[in-house]
Structure 1
Amino acid sequence: MRRSGCRNFISVGGSKQRNDLGRKCHCPNKVCKLMSLNLFAFFHLNMMFSSIPEERRPEVVEKAYWPLLDLPEAVGFPIGIEATGLTLEIINAIDPGWIARLRERIISGQIEFIGSGYAQIIGPLCPAIVNEQNLRLGNQVYEAILGARPKLALINEQAYSAGLIPLYRAAGYQAICMDWDNLAPHHPEWPAETRFSPQQAIAPDGTTIGLLWTQTFLFQRLQRLAHDDISLDEYLETISSFRTRSPRTLCLYSNDAEIFGVRPNRMATEERVANGEWQRIQSAWQALARQPDVRFVSPSEAFGDYANTTAPLHLETSAYPIPVKKQPKYNVLRWALAGRDNLAINAACSRLTDALEEKRVTTDMEWAQLCRLWSSDFRTHITEQRWHAYLNEVAELEAKHGTSPPPPWPPSKSGVQRSDGRWITVETPALKATLNRRRGLAIQSLARHGETAPPMIVSHLHGRFQGIALQYDWYTANLVFEALDGPKVSDLDWAHTSIDHLPDGIIRVTGTMQSRKGPITKAITFDAIKPRVTVDIWADWPEPGRGSLRAAHICVEPTAFEWKDLTARCHNGGHDQESFALGPGPIDHAAAVSFQVSATTGLGCTDGILDISDGRRGFRIEIDRAVAPLIPMIEHRPEVEGPFCRILLSAQETDDTLKPHSDRRPPLHFRYAILLH
C-alpha cells in the first residue's frame, strides 16, 4: 500500500514523535512536498440509524461495513471511520470479525478512527453532564474494543455550540470536524480560502480546538456518483475544479456509510440500490489518485502546519447560534421539537438526568443507558416498533427513579371570579402588572413595583410601530398554533378569570379560553418577594397536528434598554454561558425555511435559563425543562421607533420528521417564568 505523507520521526516540543499529523519535515521523501490538492475522506457508521429496523443490522454490516473496510486497500490510501461506542458494541455483538479487521486496519495505518462519544446525542440540546458522560463512556469503549482513544472528533450531526469545545478538549480530543457549506453564509467576513485549510474554533472561556472542514456539496456529489445519478467524468470534473497553484485541503466524504449497498428507507423517494455502488467509489478515487498534483491523506494528516497558526474562529453567530450540517432545512429543531414527540421525550430525559445527578452513587451502566435514550435517532425517522420499545423503556426507568411530569391538570379556580372589564391590574410588594382579559390574559406590562423606568416586558398594540410589516398587535404570554393545512389557533380570546390570594402575598390569576382545538387554561402566579411571574399553560387538545406551536411570546419594550449593549446569554450543552449580541440585528430564529420547515434555529438553553441584559437592567426567562423543554427563539429587527424584539418559546416545529403524536394524552402543559433584574 502506498503511504501518503511522511511518517518519519520529527522533533516536536523537544521530543521525537511520529509525524502522524503530516507536519512539515526536511527528509528527502518526495511525497512530503506540498501538493495543490490534499484530499481526505471519512465515513460515519451508525447502527442506531432511525429508519433501519434492528433485524436489518446484520445486512448493514455485510453490505455496507465490510466493503468499507476493504476500500483503503483497494484505493491505496488511508480513510477515516467514525462511530459511537454504542455502534461498535452493536457491531461487535453481530460480527466480532469485523471489529477484529477494523483493529488490524487501524494498526496498519489504512484506517484512522474518529470518535464521537458513546451515543449519537445532540450536544447543544443536552445538559453539560450528559455530554461529559457521553464523551467519557465513549472513550472507555474505544479503549476496550479498539485499544486506543481517538484524537479527532466528529461532533454528532455536526450540531455545534461553542460551549462544547472545553468538554471535547477535556476528553482528549485535539480537533473537530465541521461543515463549511452550512456555516459560510453566516460569516461573510471569512476569506474565501478559509474553507481550504484547517482552522481553530474558540469557546466562550477562550479554549481553542483544531477545526477540519467538511463540505456538504462534496459528500453529496459522491453519493450521487455511487447511486449512478452522475457520471464518473462529472465527478472528476467537480473535484478538479478546486485545483489551484496554492495548496488546498478538501474532504471528499464525511457522511453515512449505510446508504451504500443498502437503503435505510427514510424517504419515499429513495433510489433502489444500484449495483456496484462501492465499486464506483473505488474507481472514482483511483482515478483521482492518478491525477497530477493530487495527494490523498488521512484526516489527521490533513491538518499539516495550519491549525496552530490561524486566528481562532467563532463559528456561532447571534442569528445562527447552533450550526448544523447540510442544508438549512436540516437544523437543530428537528431533534428538539419535531419527530414523533420530541418535546415529551426530551422532558423525560431531562427528568432522568436530574435524578442521576441527585444520586450519590451512579454506575456507568446507568449513564450509558441515559446517553442512549438521548440519542438523536429516537427523534427523527424512528420505526413504529422501535418507538414503542423506547417509550416503554423510558416509562420503566422513570418508575424506577421516581421521576414523572407534574400533575397535568390546572388547579381549581377557588378565588374571586372576574367577569367585568378588559384590564386586570396585579400588584405585589415585588411586581406590578397589567393583564388583558380580552386577549387571554396577555401581559400588557410587567415591571418591578415602584419602578419609574419604562417596563421591560410589554405587549405592543396596533400602531406602536409604523412599518407595515409590524402593524399588528404583538402580545406577551400568548400561545399560537399555526397549522400547515388549517387556520391559526391561539388563546387570544376572552378569559373566564379568577383571582386567588395565596399565602405569603402570592397572587395567582387563572383564566380559561376557548379555541378551535379545545379549551386552554392559563395560570399566572405573581411572587411577593422576588420580581418573578410564573406562567402555566394547559391546552386540552387531543393532538396538535402538523404545525408550529409557540407556547409563549415575550415582547421587549424598545425604550427600556441600551440596545447596543443588549445581549442574550444561555448554556447550549456546556458549562459556560454563551453570549449573543442582539444590538446589531437582524435576527429571526423563527423564520420559516420552507412551507414544510417552519423555523430556522433556536437556543438549546440546556439549564432552562435565558438571560437578556444590557449590563444595567434585564430579565431572565426560566423554562421548566422537567415539564417541557421549550426552545427559545429570538426575533430582533431595527425599526425607526426602536428595535422590535421578542423571544418565542416553541413547543413544536415542522419538518420531514414530524409525525402524529398518537401516544400523547391531553393536556399539553408548559411552564416558564420571567424574573426581572
Structure 2
Amino acid sequence: MRLYTTFHLNLSFSSIEEDEHESIIEKCYWPLLDLCEEDRIKISIEASGKTLERINLIDDNWIKKLSSLIDEDKVELIGSGYVQMIAPLTPYEVNHWNHLLGLEIYERYLNVRPKTALINEMAFSSSIIDVIYEVGYDSFIMDESNIKLSFKYDQEWDGLMPNKALSPSNYEMPVLWSNSFIFQKLQQFAHGDINFESYLDFFDKYKSSQMGIVPFYTNDAECFDYRPGRFNTESTIHPHGEWNRIKELMIYLTKNRDITWSTPSEIMPDIASQDTKARILVSSANPAPVKKQPKYNITRWALSGRNDVWINTMCYQIFNKMMDDSELRASKDLKRRLCDLWSSDLRTHITKNRWDKAVGQIHQINEHIDSNIKIRDKTTDTKTEIDDSCENHDSNFEYSTDEENTILKLSTKDVIASLNLRKGLTINKLQFSKFDNPAFGTLPHGYFDSILLGADFYTGGVQSQGFFEGQKISDLQVVEPEIISDKSSITLITSHNTALGDIEKRLSISRQKPMITLNYEFPNWKRGKYFLRVGYLTLLPDFWGNEIEISYLSGGRQREVLRINGDFDHTKPISSLVSSTTAIPVTGGEILISNKDSSISVNWEPHQCAALPMLINKQDKNGYLNRLVFSLQEIDDTLKPDGSIPSFRFRVSVAEKI
C-alpha cells in the first residue's frame, strides 16, 4: 500500500489577518517540514506563489529548508497558481496568467517546476485540464468523493474511478484521487475528536479506489496547532500538540503496516500507464464538483460571501478593460493584481479589514486604467434604451388580449410571445417564427401526474425567500404594462412592490432578429438572508424532446458540452442554512441549449452582473420538467448581509446549431 500526502499552504486564508502569518509559519509550517526528518517518510506540499512570497519575506530560512528537502527528495512541490482561484468561475486568460505567475515564483524561490497540480478548493471543471496542460503540468490531484456524483446517472459507469480525465479538447490527463473522508478523519484524530484506536480501525478498513494508493492527507496545514477564531465552536488545540500526534501516527504506520510513503511523481507513472478509458468528470447534475460535504458548493464563491456577485462583476469589468487594451494586457503587475482580486479567499469568510482593502484595490486599479467603474455596491445601469419617438401602435408588430384580459399576445416577423397579465407578465408561450413550436413558456398546474410537480411552472418570473423569516417574494401579480415601441424593439414595462423592495421588469422583443431581452432591477433592495432567483426559463417538451444538451465556457477556451440527464435540482436547499445544491459555472456569459434540430442562446454580460445559471431536470410519466434560472444571491454560512442587489439582463435568441 502506498500513502501520499499533499499539505495545502495558504497564508491568504480568508479569516486570517496578515499579523498572524509569522505565528502560522512557526506553529504550522515548521512542524510540517519536521515530519520529513523521520526515516522513510516523504510528503508533498502545495502552496500558492503568493504564500511562498510571503513566507520568504517573513522567514526565508523556511524557504531554504524546503528547497533543501526538495533537493533531498524528501518533499515534492505540487503546483496551484499564484493565488488560490476558483478556476471554473474565472475566464481562461486569468486562469492562464495565474498558473504562469505561480510557476515563475516556484522557480525563483525553489528552483523547481512542479509537474502535478492540485485543483484549488477541489472546484473542478473539465476545462481546467486544458489550462494546466498548456502551462506544463502533466497530471493533477482531485477529490474523488464529489466526482462520484457525476457518474450517478451514467449507465456506462462500472463503479471504478477512472485513472484519466478527459478535457473539452479531448486531451487525456492522469488524475490522482484524494478523498474527503480520509483527510477529515486525520483532522479528527489530530484534534482529539477520535482516539488512536478509532483512527486505526478506519484506516485498516479503508478501501483504496486506485491501485492500492491511499491519500493519507490532502488538505490545509493551518488547521493543526492553530485556530483562526472564526467560529465559537472551534475546538481547543490538543495539549499534546496536533503535529506531534500526526507525526507519531505516521511513524506508527511506517513501522506496523505494510506501507510506503510516496510522492505524486513516484505514483503518476503507474497511473498514466494504465490502459483505462478517460472520462469526463462532470455532468449536468454535477457541473461543478468541489471539496467535502454538499454544504460546500460552487455558490459559496459566486453568490454569497460579503458580496460575491459584486466583486466578481468588478473583476470582469477590469478584465474586459485589459482585454480591450494591449498595453494593459501586457502588464504583469496588473495581471497579478487582478488574480489577487479573483482569489477564492475574498469570497468566503473574509475579514472586514481585508474586504475593505480589496475594495480599495479595485478603486486603485480602476483609476490606473482610467475606467468608468464606480466603487459602489451595484452594477452598471442596464435599463433598455428606448426611443419613444415612434407611436406605440404601428404596422411592424401586432398585439391583442383575450376576452378576459389575461393573456397579451405580441408578434413580430421573428417572435411570437403570449404574456400572462395576471402573473407578472410571465411568458405563457415564446415562439421563434423559424420553428413550428414554442420553445419556452408555462407548464400549467395539472400538466404532470406527480403531486410533487403539482404547480404552475412559469417563465420569466422572480422568486426570493428567506430561510429564517420564511417570507416568500415573487412578481406573480396582476399588471398593466406600459408598452413602448421604437425602431429596434417593443418593450413592456412593469413594476411590483414587495416586502423587500420594488421589482422593475422590462421585456423587450427585437424587431430586427429572433431575440427577446429580459431586464430585472431591484432599486431599493438590500442584501439580506434570502436567496434571489430571476428569469426562470421553462423548456416546453413539444419543442425540446428528451435529448437536450447544454454547452458553455467554464474557465477554458473551449465549450463544455453536457447532456441533461437524471433527476436533479440545482436550486434544492441542502439544509436550513444552505439554499442551493450547485450552479453551472459559466465564464463566457452564454449558455447554449440544444437538441438534435435546434440551438438557442441564453446570454448575459458578467461585467454588468456576474449571476450564475442553475438547472432543474425532473420527470414523471407525462413528460419532463426542464428549467434554467439565474441566481443573484444564495444563502450559506459565508453570507453577510451588506450592499445592494444589482440589476440583471439576459437575452434569449436563436443560435446556429453546433
TM above 0.5, yes or no, is yes
Other-structure match for 1:425: 409
| Aligned partner letter, 1:297 | S
Q: Residues 38 and 191 (structure 1 numbering): CA distance in 2 closer, same or farther, change over 3 Å?
A: farther
In structure 1, C-alpha distance between the alignment counterparts of 2:372 and 2:124, rounded to whole Å: 30
In structure 1, C-alpha distance between the alignment counterparts of 2:211 and 2:507, rounded to whole Å: 62
3-state SS of the aligned residue for 1:668? coil
3-state SS of the aligned residue for 2:551? strand
Other-structure match for 2:353: 385
| Aligned partner letter, 2:554 | N
What's the CA shift for 1:324? 0.8
In structure 2, C-alpha distance between the alignment counterparts of 1:400 and 1:675, rounded to whole Å: 37
Q: Does 2:310 align with 1:338? A: no
| Pick aligned residue for 2:609 from 613, 625, 628 | 628
Q: Please give the residue correspondences for 1:554-593 in structure 2 after superposition, counting only pairs within 5 Å.
A: 554-564=537-547, 566-582=548-564, 584-593=565-574
In structure 2, C-alpha distance between the alignment counterparts of 1:459 and 1:268, rounded to whole Å: 47
Q: Is the 8 A contact 2:583 2:613 kept in 1?
A: yes
Structure 2: which 5+ runs fail to align? 374-378, 394-399
The TM-score normalised by the length of structure 2 is 0.92
Q: Does 2:167 align with 1:203? A: yes
| Aligned partner letter, 1:295 | T
Q: Is the 8 A contact 1:518 1:540 kept in 2?
A: yes
In structure 1, C-alpha distance between the alignment counterparts of 2:187 and 2:305, rounded to whole Å: 25
Q: Please give the residue correspondences for 1:635-650 in structure 2 after superposition, counting only pairs within 5 Å.
A: 635-650=616-631
Larger displacement relative to structure 2 (363-372 or 455-464): 455-464
In structure 2, C-alpha distance between the alignment counterparts of 1:355 and 1:40, rounded to whole Å: 43
| Pick aligned residue for 1:605 from 576, 586, 599 | 586
Structure 1: which 5+ runs fail to align? 1-36
Q: Is the 8 A contact 2:609 2:646 kept in 1?
A: no
Q: Does 2:253 align with 1:288? A: yes
Please list the CA deviations of residues 185-233 of structure 1 after superposition, one character each: whole Å capped at 9, or x if unmatched: 44356555x45xx811111221011100111111111111111111122
In structure 2, C-alpha distance between the alignment counterparts of 1:536 and 1:187, rounded to whole Å: 36
What's the CA shift for 1:399? 3.6
Q: Residues 42 and 620 (structure 1 numbering): CA distance in 2 closer, same or farther, change over 3 Å?
A: same
Other-structure match for 2:651: 673
The count of aligned residue pairs is 631
Other-structure match for 2:450: 467
Q: Does 2:263 align with 1:298? A: yes
In structure 2, C-alpha distance between the alignment counterparts of 1:447 and 1:508, rounded to whole Å: 17
Other-structure match for 2:22: 58
Q: Is the 8 A contact 1:513 1:521 kept in 2?
A: yes
Q: Residues 184 and 408 (structure 1 numbering): CA distance in 2 closer, same or farther, change over 3 Å?
A: closer
Q: Does 2:405 align with 1:441? A: no
The TM-score normalised by the length of structure 1 is 0.89
Larger displacement relative to structure 2 (92-101 or 396-405): 396-405
What's the CA shift for 1:106? 0.8
What's the CA shift for 1:676? 2.5
| Pick aligned residue for 1:522 from 497, 500, 505 | 505
Q: Structure 1 segments of 4 or more deviating over 6 A?
A: 408-415, 417-420
What's the CA shift for 1:147? 1.0
In structure 2, C-alpha distance between the alignment counterparts of 1:238 and 1:462, rounded to whole Å: 50
Q: Does 2:206 align with 1:242? A: yes
Q: Is the 8 A contact 1:86 1:118 kept in 2?
A: yes
Q: Residues 263 and 57 (structure 1 numbering): CA distance in 2 closer, same or farther, change over 3 Å?
A: same
Q: Is the 8 A contact 2:82 2:101 kept in 1?
A: yes
Q: Is the 8 A contact 2:387 2:485 kept in 1?
A: no
Q: Is the 8 A contact 1:175 1:211 kept in 2?
A: yes
Q: Is the 8 A contact 1:558 1:642 kept in 2?
A: yes
| Aligned partner letter, 1:542 | W
In structure 1, C-alpha distance between the alignment counterparts of 2:181 and 2:462, rounded to whole Å: 39
Please list the CA deviations of residues 261-306 of structure 1 after superposition, one character each: whole Å capped at 9, or x if unmatched: 1112233211122231111000000000002421111222123523
Q: Is the 8 A contact 2:387 2:486 kept in 1?
A: no
| Aligned partner letter, 2:362 | V
3-state SS of the aligned residue for 2:302? helix
In structure 2, C-alpha distance between the alignment counterparts of 1:421 and 1:54, rounded to whole Å: 63
Q: Is the 8 A contact 2:466 2:529 kept in 1?
A: yes
| Aligned partner letter, 1:593 | I
What's the CA shift for 1:155? 0.9
Other-structure match for 1:329: 295
Q: Is the 8 A contact 2:427 2:442 kept in 1?
A: yes
Other-structure match for 1:595: 576
3-state SS of the aligned residue for 1:337? coil
Larger displacement relative to structure 2 (320-329 or 435-444): 435-444
Please list the CA deviations of residues 514-558 of structure 1 after superposition, one character each: whole Å capped at 9, or x if unmatched: 211121101112111221111111113331421221122000111
Q: Please give the residue correspondences for 1:79-158 in structure 2 after superposition, counting only pairs within 5 Å.
A: 79-158=43-122
Other-structure match for 2:396: none
Other-structure match for 1:454: 437
| Aligned partner letter, 1:475 | Y
3-state SS of the aligned residue for 2:256? coil
Q: Residues 627 and 495 (structure 1 numbering): CA distance in 2 closer, same or farther, change over 3 Å?
A: farther
Other-structure match for 1:371: 339
| Identity over aligned pairs, percent | 34
Larger displacement relative to structure 2 (261-270 or 274-283): 261-270
| Aligned partner letter, 1:334 | R
Q: Is the 8 A contact 1:457 1:555 kept in 2?
A: yes
| Pick aligned residue for 1:317 from 267, 283, 286 | 283
Q: Could you say what the CA RMSD is over the residues aligned between the two structures, in angstroms?
A: 2.2
In structure 2, C-alpha distance between the alignment counterparts of 1:452 and 1:237, rounded to whole Å: 62
Q: Is the 8 A contact 1:355 1:403 kept in 2?
A: no
In structure 2, C-alpha distance between the alignment counterparts of 1:272 and 1:430, rounded to whole Å: 66
What's the CA shift for 1:238? 1.9
Other-structure match for 1:16: none
In structure 2, C-alpha distance between the alignment counterparts of 1:190 and 1:330, rounded to whole Å: 25
Q: Is the 8 A contact 2:387 2:487 kept in 1?
A: no
Q: Is the 8 A contact 1:85 1:138 kept in 2?
A: yes
What's the CA shift for 1:85? 0.7
In structure 1, C-alpha distance between the alignment counterparts of 2:579 and 2:334, rounded to whole Å: 36
Please list the CA deviations of residues 105-156 of structure 1 after superposition, one character each: whole Å capped at 9, or x if unmatched: 1111111000001111100001111111111111111111111210010011
| Pick aligned residue for 1:395 from 359, 363, 366 | 363
Q: Please give the residue correspondences for 1:242-261 in structure 2 after superposition, counting only pairs within 5 Å.
A: 242=206, 248-261=212-225
Please list the CA deviations of residues 20-64 of structure 1 after superposition, one character each: whole Å capped at 9, or x if unmatched: xxxxxxxxxxxxxxxxx1111120000100001111111111111
| Aligned partner letter, 1:643 | Y
In structure 2, C-alpha distance between the alignment counterparts of 1:73 and 1:459, rounded to whole Å: 67
3-state SS of the aligned residue for 1:489? strand
